[in-house]
Structure 1
């Protein structure tokens, strides 16, 4: 057997199946009419990088179709802005301190219930395709084809129903084609649910070859806070290690060849910087690498000549542009996949009875406060894109400011399937909210973050966000509180916790936080339970 299953083979199989598929749509009539579900989750896709959210950076015409034909949530958020914990919350409908996946290192217990298992038991066909970033064999799925750990952009390894296999092609395209192939091969008499999980735009941001010429030629507007000095904030923001200039990898992230790093005297920030560059580009075929080098090597030659004359501000700006070019280039292929999926559903008579959701595992910093990455409870990482298309219930072109969370996905999807959610799920179904028949909703969302000490050095914290205010408690090695007035200070530049003018707000928010924590059965005991065994120095 060949090491590679080629993209051409996948596509040819898919084309053959599509010829048969229209008849299967007819076969579905008179049978199970419950809606199909396609849940699309990208990795680290900031809402600022979606044109439906007013992006100044890029255009995402296919993701925008979901907003035009369905609903866009303007203030959707996550309970823990970290990759694997977010996925655990999606599956279980429970906070991290309940499902046990508090950070990227903790093991996830696949034996616990999840919404896919429940759908299975009620006659749904289920599949998980793409990134899951959790150890163990996924349970609750008739079919799984998952990337190993973070996965690779070029010629990635998948574990397909328990068997490791390297597949030739670009990861975003492969994931899309595998999803469409599985839908085409399904039993048309039963409803289906597929989790379509893209790796992109996760670090280290290698765009598809078809996008690199255009995106590396673009210049993007800088955020107002690119050179934030964190005056008016506390220890946590000042000590975090996610500054584009100081903490981003030169080779792995900005694609500066290791040989050029050595020539210019550029040091590795992370020990795996040069290895990431060599491993990621080393996966390319000879032909792919030649195309890549034809675009990137001239950029690096220009940098080599300019570097001796660049100030720190110049370097920050150069690194920001390199970051945006590659990050947004990877988003372009994700958007291509959404368009391919929507066209597929329409062409095969599945679009009217299929719920399509697009979201990310959390938000991401695109230079705001000088940062990349996520983790904080500040808006750019707390908020996540959320768009839903379901013509039978959701009016086209609607928007909602409701404070929904990824905690709500499991009970909502079960609700659409006509299944009562287990009582121990902590989220709420927003089906009626999405359909416009429910007006009242929660007035605060709750957030926790545990991965400290750890990469990026973001302190442990928890807090609540209401319609206007946000209260955060940083704990463990510090004891600091932050309060923000999001109406007066949307960029969260001024902590007003100790401002006498906000004394009454502080009191009410503190009481609200205590009530919300209690409602989810969280407490200081849980905070201590999940502390590292070795205290930080």
Structure 2
């Protein structure tokens, strides 16, 4: 019996060593517009403060429980195409040039998938690409099964290596089918798969199995719904008063918006579960890195806003989960700030590839393993004006304790928040004399970040609508973008 125990132990050690030495498979899963608190494990952690306590994301939670959860993960520009470009290039958008949702991404050489392919990986992009209305095989990948722009939730045509194919069913179920087929075909070779879900992007149409899932839940209004940014009162003066609402609660905060949003998240969670189950079935689980995140957050009435883009927490914070049984602990929580810029460097390090110097993010590996002594305490956030949105150009610095938001050409809109005392960003301190020392400190950090990130105004951003005095001209569109 002792001999059998020794042999079993040696076998386990051998299997672990093999997993350590073999290139890990990498599966990168991205949802679209999923808020940082859009996980049932986070809602449970928030307790009485949870606004969406009814959420059901058991499979996303599995990654968190079996891996590492980042409480403070952020994007550096809260918009679909720019965020995805940063996760391809490891660079800020003022560097990589993708500053809005209307630009194709054509680089097939200097990107994460291209570097992984050079390192011997079979690479694939399945699901949402969303770089404008770009068609064709996705650059830098060996294989792609994707759709044009946002696609549609049901019966969406996919382009398989650039060739259009009709599909039947809910879009993220179909994408997961393609992903499962890719994994099965490449199970004996290192692969790097990006599975990009459409959910929970607008046009919310959940799978039919969940279209009544949350119909009877209690809806809760956001505590900071009346704390509007200054530009809202400027653009929509009729809503300047605190008690004036931009949106109808029943229609837009409730059943027609919030509920189907979360029902589509539940559909994407099913896809996550199918992938996790397949890895276990194929005995690939131990040596596969799973990274789950979103391209940006989303407002559900906070600050009287919908959509994303602005520099408030609900927009810029995202879920981030990483699981790698061969090397990473189970159930670890990391509180340090992680960025979407960090993910390419992280994946390259795990693949045994040195991240290029042009990457502006940091690998998260040493942080996860508890070997990182110093870590970032601040980062730059940005958004560039688009002609179809009321959100103005803005630049912000976010530290572990505070936030400064600046609006070029409108100094009177500036915001300063003490995030330790005011996590919902309800009390703007910028013009309060008693906080002048915090303001001065944040101004210095802002200038420091501009230098460190090599900031420059992007040439390809639309021109700001300014009057003869250099001030914003009010946006003429509807408030609920």
Q: Structure 2-normalised TM-score?
A: 0.85
Counterpart CA distance in 2 for 1:421 and 1:394 is 20
Match of 1:138 in 2: 138
The correspondence for 1:38, drawn from 18, 27, 37, is 27
Match of 2:359 in 1: 425
SS of the aligned residue for 1:97 comes to helix
Any residues of structure 2 matched to 1:210-229 within 5 Å, and which?
210-226=209-225, 228=226
Q: How far is 1:439 from its partner?
A: 3.2
Match of 1:267 in 2: none
Give the conservation status (yes or no) of the 8 Å contact 1:222–1:367: yes
Counterpart CA distance in 1 for 2:264 and 2:75 is 22
| Residue 436 (structure 1) aligned with residue 370 (structure 2) | yes
Match of 1:158 in 2: 158
Q: Which moved more, 1:34-43 or 1:486-495?
A: 486-495
SS of the aligned residue for 1:146 comes to strand
Any residues of structure 2 matched to 1:258-297 within 5 Å, and which?
none
| 1:103-152 per-position Cα deviation (integer Å, ceiling 9, x unaligned) | 11234342451010000011001000000101254211111011211111
Any residues of structure 2 matched to 1:301-316 within 5 Å, and which?
315-316=248-249
The correspondence for 1:384, drawn from 314, 318, 331, is 318
Any residues of structure 2 matched to 1:396-435 within 5 Å, and which?
396-435=330-369
SS of the aligned residue for 1:351 comes to coil
Give the conservation status (yes or no) of the 8 Å contact 2:19–2:286: no
Any residues of structure 2 matched to 1:310-349 within 5 Å, and which?
315-322=248-255, 323-349=257-283
The correspondence for 1:234, drawn from 201, 206, 230, is 230
Change (3 A) 1:375 1:407: same
Q: How far is 1:499 from its partner?
A: 1.1
Match of 2:441 in 1: 508
Give the conservation status (yes or no) of the 8 Å contact 1:32–1:191: no
Give the conservation status (yes or no) of the 8 Å contact 2:403–2:418: yes
The correspondence for 1:113, drawn from 110, 116, 127, is 110
Change (3 A) 1:508 1:528: farther
Q: How far is 1:348 from its partner?
A: 1.0
SS of the aligned residue for 2:414 comes to strand
Q: How far is 1:406 from its partner?
A: 0.3
Counterpart CA distance in 2 for 1:221 and 1:533 is 36
Q: How far is 1:31 from its partner?
A: 12
Counterpart CA distance in 1 for 2:23 and 2:217 is 45
Match of 1:168 in 2: 168
Q: How far is 1:74 from its partner?
A: 0.6
Counterpart CA distance in 2 for 1:468 and 1:221 is 27
Q: How far is 1:528 from its partner?
A: 6.8
Counterpart CA distance in 1 for 2:19 and 2:211 is 48
Match of 1:283 in 2: none
Match of 2:191 in 1: 192
Give the conservation status (yes or no) of the 8 Å contact 2:138–2:161: no
* Structure 1 portions without partners, runs of 5+: 1-25, 244-310
The correspondence for 1:51, drawn from 14, 25, 40, is 40
SS of the aligned residue for 1:79 comes to coil
Change (3 A) 1:328 1:501: same
Q: Which moved more, 1:502-511 or 1:315-324?
A: 315-324
Change (3 A) 1:401 1:459: same
Give the conservation status (yes or no) of the 8 Å contact 2:65–2:330: yes
The correspondence for 2:399, drawn from 460, 466, 469, is 466
Change (3 A) 1:432 1:512: same
Match of 2:463 in 1: 532
Counterpart CA distance in 2 for 1:237 and 1:408 is 36
Counterpart CA distance in 2 for 1:178 and 1:468 is 43
Q: How far is 1:479 from its partner?
A: 5.7
The correspondence for 2:431, drawn from 498, 516, 523, is 498
| Residue 204 (structure 1) aligned with residue 203 (structure 2) | yes
Counterpart CA distance in 1 for 2:67 and 2:264 is 25
Counterpart CA distance in 2 for 1:170 and 1:56 is 26
Q: How far is 1:240 from its partner?
A: 7.8
Q: How far is 1:474 from its partner?
A: 0.8
Change (3 A) 1:503 1:229: closer
